Amino acid sequence: MRYFNLSCVIVFLLQALPAQAQTEPVPWFDTVPRSDYYERVSTSNQAALEASFVALFRGGNDGLSEFYTIERLPWQEHEVVVAASHPELGWGAFGYRPTHPVSVFLQTPHRYFDLHTAVIAETGWTNDLVQLYMSNSIHRYAGQNQKPKVNSDISNARRSPLLAASEAWIAENPEGVIVQLHGYSKSKRSTVEGRNSDIILSHGTTEQFMHETRLHEIQTCLTALLNVTVLRYPAEVGELGGTQNNVAQALASWGKSEQFVHVEMSRGVRDALAGDQQTTLNALQCMVGASHE
């Protein structure tokens, strides 16, 4: 697989393009229904979820209606699938464009904790940058107040709908890229590098990668576009590497770590992007456009 080598030129060209927001938006929920309860994902449910997502991605009849309320909506000349989990499950929501030519899966597992990450991601989804988008529908820590306690962090739990969708999707799209958006507070960082950073990129592993690979290209592109400090874990900063992330661990086990892009954004970056749709689209293009030609 080859990568872009002229990220600055890419940014210039992106900025010169007409705003993608002027096109007809891909359908999405005005607001993702928020759940008050998270049902622990059992081993059998995990298997059923993964099998159902595989069926969906293969274009057949899926069994996801057991877990999600699903709508199939026309968009231009194509069909878009939008779904929200049943409220009693709290398993998140997703949008899927079966005919999208670019194999990118965008994720925001902490929409109620990492402020603006969903706003940023949904700008990309509705403006046709990704094939699949998935977000949570309950606060990542809500399960701690349940009896018995349950891990409601869908990017961290041993079993989760996000993990099931990711494993099914990468199996059907072996060259695909999963981009996951997160947020952090610079003041809470434990290292000087972390406190001085604006964006931290990683593949969710401590493994070092050669120069001019995907993470380097994204770093160059975002730095040129946003004029902020973008660091790579673990080479340039020693925290927020996403190494406990369940999707990162799954892709690492298949030797596909470089196809997982973990993006941590400071509050300042998130605030700026949430208020500027065109810059958001360009930043997301850095993240996903550096992954394919």
Q: Render pLDDT for 24-63 as a digit per residue (tens, 0 to 9).
A: 788 887 777 889 999 999 999 999 999 999 999 999 877 9
> How are strands ordered across the β-sheet holding 132-135?
68-75, 78-85, 93-96, 132-135, 104-108, 177-184, 260-266, 199-202, 230-232
Q: Which of 255, 259, 266, 209 is nearest to 232 (CA)?
A: 209
What's the whole-model pTM score?
0.90
In a domain, 209, yes or no: yes
pLDDT at 262: 97
In a domain, 110, yes or no: yes
In a domain, 64, yes or no: yes
Which domain does 77 fall in, by range? 7-289
In a domain, 1, yes or no: no
In a domain, 207, yes or no: yes
In a domain, 79, yes or no: yes
Q: Tally the domains of the chain.
A: 1
Q: What is the pLDDT of residues 117-154, one digit of tens each?
A: 999 999 999 998 999 999 999 999 999 999 999 999 99
Q: Determine the Cα–Cα distance for residues 209 and 185; give it in Å rounded to an integer.
A: 26
CATH number for 66? 3.40.630
Q: What is the pLDDT of residues 76-103, one digit of tens each?
A: 888 999 999 999 999 999 999 999 888 9
Instruction: Indicate the Cα dihedral angle 125, 126, 128, 130, nearest 10°.
Output: 10
pLDDT at 212: 61
pLDDT > 90? residue 109: yes
